[in-house]
Amino acid sequence: MGKVSDPYRIIRKPLLSEKCHDLKERHNQVAFRVDPAATKSDIKAAVERIFKAKVAAVNVVNVAGKEKRLGKNVGRRSDWKKAIVTLKAGEKIEIVEGVA
């Protein structure tokens, strides 16, 4: 693996939006928020180790943080990295959605 070795530090959290749910249903893909220093091979190894599922492909997106304001104060959200993991046919990952 590359710079990051612990699989639980590479995979930060699953993304649970409607778009991600649609990807899971239609294309057998799962989206995660990942460590910005992680590579595609790091992400693949981490998913296979944590979820015991075979990965076919990994696509990575660097998401730019947005500028937000509250009254006169202007702030900026952090940049982050998203990984869309395509699972091999017949593989499945069950992610339990927590109650907020």
95 in any annotated domain: no
Residue 41: give the domain boundaries: 7-65+75-87
- One pLDDT digit (tens) per residue for the chain, 100 residues: 456 679 999 999 999 999 999 999 999 999 999 999 999 999 999 999 999 999 999 999 999 999 999 999 999 999 999 999 999 999 999 887 765 5
For 59, the 3-state DSSP assignment is strand
Q: What's the rounded Cα separation, in Å, for the pair 83 and 54? A: 15
pTM of the predicted model as reported, rounded to 2 decimal places: 0.86
61 in any annotated domain: yes
19 in any annotated domain: yes
For the chain, the domain total comes to 1
Q: What's the rounded Cα separation, in Å, for the pair 91 and 23? A: 14
18 in any annotated domain: yes
37 in any annotated domain: yes
Domain harbouring 36, CATH code: 3.30.70.330
94 in any annotated domain: no
